[in-house]
């Protein structure tokens, strides 16, 4: 039995493949001649485009204004001229408007020392406004606007503020490297958010396969005298899924259909904490992020700090290109990521990784009928019966799928990973959720 905490139901132990990049320092990615910046890089309303073809823009200029309460500003990651506004497809299949900028002009920060700003005298309203202005969103994959998450509704309070530093997806090590290389900055970002939330307790959850990060952060916290706990967690997938992490750390279960605040919890990813630090201390918007580029088909797997809008192709070239022809390119991790068919796909605020996988890593096989082995049930961290829900969707019985808990599925991929019949369970659940959302919108007259 592990001496570390974890969630009680299900979970799996896939090979993590992190050794290819976990010891590699973050390197700056090459600057490219053009940048493609999607106007929807977050959950919620797309940003409103503020530029048109022929406009000259400065680095860090707002080119997409927040389109509503749940939305986020988009800043130009480069100086240059707007070549066009065009439709592109994101890895999740969404078609969005994107601003194409040809790089020209002067970069504001390259090669210059940054002025450090003191946020301690700012009011909570000023801090919250700065986070919103800088376009910060959750960088663990959810891309929920951070200023919205940190705005507590009237009558609600945050008992436990959890920093999600688990990074349980195989291959990915960008958060791990951020903790090792920007530990002090991450902790100051946490302090800024503590000011807004006034939590009774703040916990950084880290899987026990990153004990160097656990020890470093603990040492910094002791040295600075901060009110933050570092909690090593059992190495088990999907430890970093929001509801599973809350269960592991607090023992509380978020009710079906409810948000973490229902049990007094607010979550933030470790990369988000760094962005909050950069916004308040460096006056810097989200124009770049750390991306792990890895997989068996990458010649020199690396962690790269890339400008938003940089193409996947450019980052792969920075890693020496392909060592062999990949059979699959994935945006994100192999368990919850999305297959990519166009290497000109741009990096967004939510791009944590780019994986080029070989046939040996994919182990593709044709689906066969369900064997009724029950492995999907025993692996589900939400206590669902995946094969039963899949059959309901397959027979267009969406109401029955809903009653069986379809919307509680976190799409972690544990069931698909364990299925010996290779049934595309997660793809089925995603399709089922889309059908249900369309029916709901039609019913509401939208």
Q: Give pTM, 2 decimals.
A: 0.94
Q: Looking at residues 174-179, what average pLDDT do you find? A: 98
Report pLDDT digits (tens) over 46-87: 999 999 999 999 999 999 999 888 899 999 999 999 999 999
Instruction: Find, among 202, 199, 200, the residue nearest to 187 by Cα.
Output: 202
pLDDT of residue 110: 79
Binding-site residues for [4Fe-4S] cluster: 370, 373, 376, 380, 409, 412, 415, 419
Q: Looking at residues 295-316, what average pLDDT do you find? A: 98
pLDDT of residue 446: 61
Residue 425 has pLDDT above 70, yes or no: yes
Binding-site residues: 370, 373, 376, 380, 409, 412, 415, 419
pLDDT of residue 440: 81
pLDDT of residue 257: 87
Instruction: Find, among 411, 126, 54, the residue nearest to 280 by Cα.
Output: 126
Report pLDDT digits (tens) over 115-152: 899 999 999 999 999 999 999 999 887 789 999 999 99
Report pLDDT digits (tens) over 324-353: 999 999 999 999 999 999 999 999 999 999
């Amino acid at each position: 039995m592990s001496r570390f905490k974890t969630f009680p139901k299900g979970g799996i132990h896939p090979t993590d493949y992190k050794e290819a990049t976990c010891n590699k320092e973050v390197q700056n990615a090459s600057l490219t001649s053009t940048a493609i910046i999607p106007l929807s890089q977050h959950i919620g309303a797309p940003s409103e485009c503020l530029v048109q073809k022929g406009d000259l823009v400065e680095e860090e200029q707002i080119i997409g204004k927040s389109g509503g309460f749940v939305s986020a500003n988009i800043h130009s990651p480069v100086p240059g001229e707007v070549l066009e506004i065009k439709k592109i497809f994101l890895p999740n299949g969404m078609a969005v408007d994107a601003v194409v900028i040809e790089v020209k002009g002067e970069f504001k920060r390259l090669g210059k020392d940054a002025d450090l700003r003191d946020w301690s005298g700012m009011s909570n309203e000023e801090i919250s406004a700065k986070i919103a202005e800088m376009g910060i969103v959750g960088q663990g994959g959810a891309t929920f606007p951070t200023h919205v998450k940190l705005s507590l509704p009237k009558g609600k309070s945050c008992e436990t503020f959890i920093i999600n530093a688990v990074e349980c997806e195989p291959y990915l090590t960008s958060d791990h490297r951020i903790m090792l290389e920007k530990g002090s900055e991450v902790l100051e970002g946490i302090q800024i958010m503590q000011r807004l939330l006034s939590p009774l307790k703040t916990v950084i959850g880290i899987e026990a396969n990153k004990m160097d990060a656990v020890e470093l952060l603990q040492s910094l916290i002791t040295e600075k005298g901060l009110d933050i706990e570092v909690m090593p967690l059992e190495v088990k997938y999907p430890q970093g899924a929001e509801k599973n992490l809350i269960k592991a750390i607090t023992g509380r279960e978020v009710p079906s259909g409810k948000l973490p605040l229902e049990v007094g919890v607010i979550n933030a990813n470790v990369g988000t904490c760094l962005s909050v630090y950069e916004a308040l201390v460096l006056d810097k918007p989200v124009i770049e992020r750390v991306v792990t580029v890895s997989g068996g088909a990458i010649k020199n797997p690396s962690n790269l700090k890339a400008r938003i809008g940089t193409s996947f192709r450019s980052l792969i070239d920075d890693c020496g290109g392909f060592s062999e022809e990949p059979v699959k390119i994935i945006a994100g991790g192999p368990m919850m990521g999305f297959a990519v068919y166009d290497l000109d796909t741009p990096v967004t605020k939510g791009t944590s990784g780019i994986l080029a996988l070989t046939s040996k890593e994919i182990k593709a096989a044709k689906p066969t009928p369900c064997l009724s082995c029950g492995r999907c049930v025993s692996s589900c961290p939400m206590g669902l019966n995946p094969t039963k829900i899949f059959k309901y969707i397959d027979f267009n019985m969406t109401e029955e799928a809903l009653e069986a808990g379809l919307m509680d599925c976190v799409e972690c991929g544990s069931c698909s990973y364990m299925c010996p019949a290779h049934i595309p369970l997660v793809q089925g659940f995603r399709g089922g959720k889309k059908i249900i959302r369309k029916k709901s919108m039609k019913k509401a007259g939208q």
